[in-house]
């Protein structure tokens, strides 16, 4: 996965936007408890058939990794000191039930909003995200050590430091090289873990175990050897962790670098996914270190 995906898709929409989007829509109504007539059997849905794994040439994990690293641009990534992305992030889409005037439940949908964003990164692990909502721009910055956030659409006019959870997540970010390439460079254990269809493409599934942190799965397209899917950090909803997966589409080449321009975050148990589209990429723009900390 390229460097913007984990920081932006998994962090920004949840931490910066969710509260504002929820405030614009009535809270979903609680669903009444289901009742069944005494003695009446309850229908049980049959279990879904397990997908058939595609048959692909057997390749050792290291061979898959080598082809992945070459396909994404190889040594060209090492020439990148700074990078910036601009595009639109989808957020706020949901399906919920509301009580009508006749006291019945009605299923409603909140359409996905397209929020303009700009993301900048600088080695070794500096980042800046700007996200515009209702004419106001929120900002998150991280200088490699400390992080700050400015969220005017939540009626917060001051720069606030990252909390402990946000700081831990920011420090764990892989930086410009992206999660899988960084894991391989640090000597993570990579094992072939079968094959699977992802969006109509036959993929190799890899199990990546870093020296620090839980194992994570990555799916590599068997034709392009680029990432098609990655397992993300679980997202806590309703007090319980839900599995997260990121789908990557529409790869384009910039200065020899293969970069996905469409990323889709799927959360287990959530009907609608979150999509992000990258409209422009700039390699090695001049970015002063001051852009990655709060204004003085």
Q: Mind listing the pLDDT tens digit for each residue in 133-177?
A: 888 999 999 999 999 999 998 888 899 999 998 898 888 888 899
DSSP letter at 133 equals E
pLDDT, tens digit (0-9, with 9 covering 90-100), for 234-274: 888 888 889 999 999 999 999 999 999 999 999 888 888 88
Residue with the larger pLDDT of the pair 84 and 179? 84
Distance CA 171, CA 198 (A): 30
pLDDT, tens digit (0-9, with 9 covering 90-100), for 189-238: 999 999 999 999 999 999 999 887 778 999 999 999 999 999 988 888 88
pLDDT, tens digit (0-9, with 9 covering 90-100), for 90-124: 876 555 556 677 777 766 666 668 899 999 999 99
Domains and CATH numbers, the chain: 4-23+60-292 (2.50.20.10)
pLDDT for 218: 96
For residue 62, is pLDDT > 70?
Answer: yes
Q: What is the mean pLDDT of the chain?
A: 83
Distance CA 216, CA 228 (A): 14
Residue with the larger pLDDT of the pair 145 and 46? 145
H helices within 51-163, ranges in order?
61-72
């Amino acid at each position: 996965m390229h460097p913007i995906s984990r920081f932006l898709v998994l962090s920004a929409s949840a931490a910066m936007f969710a509260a504002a989007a929820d405030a614009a829509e009535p809270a979903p109504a609680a669903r009444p408890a289901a009742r069944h007539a005494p003695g009446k059997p309850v229908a049980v849905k049959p279990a879904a058939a397990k997908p058939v794994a595609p048959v692909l040439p057997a390749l050792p994990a290291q061979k898959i990794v080598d082809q992945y690293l070459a396909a994404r641009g190889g040594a060209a990534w090492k020439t990148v000191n700074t990078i910036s992305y601009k595009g639109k992030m989808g957020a706020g889409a949901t399906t919920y039930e509301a009580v009508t005037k006749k006291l019945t439940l009605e299923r409603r949908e909140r359409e996905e909003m397209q929020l303009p964003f700009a993301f900048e990164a600088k080695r070794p692990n500096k980042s800046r995200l700007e996200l515009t909502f209702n004419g106001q721009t929120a900002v998150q910055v991280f200088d490699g050590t400390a992080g700050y956030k400015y969220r005017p659409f939540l009626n917060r006019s001051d720069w606030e430091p990252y909390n402990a959870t946000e700081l831990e997540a920011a420090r764990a970010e892989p930086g410009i090289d992206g999660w899988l390439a960084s894991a391989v460079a640090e000597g993570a254990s990579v094992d072939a873990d079968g094959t699977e269809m992802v969006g109509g493409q036959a993929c190799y599934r890899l199990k990546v175990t870093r020296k620090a942190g839980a194992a994570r799965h990555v799916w590599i397209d068997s034709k392009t050897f680029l990432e098609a899917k990655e397992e993300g950090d679980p997202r806590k909803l309703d007090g319980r962790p839900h599995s997260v997966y990121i789908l990557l589409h529409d790869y384009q080449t910039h200065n020899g670098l293969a970069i996905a321009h469409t990323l889709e975050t799927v959360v287990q148990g959530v009907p609608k996914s979150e999509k992000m589209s990258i409209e422009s990429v700039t390699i090695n723009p001049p970015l002063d270190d001051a852009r990655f900390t709060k204004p003085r």
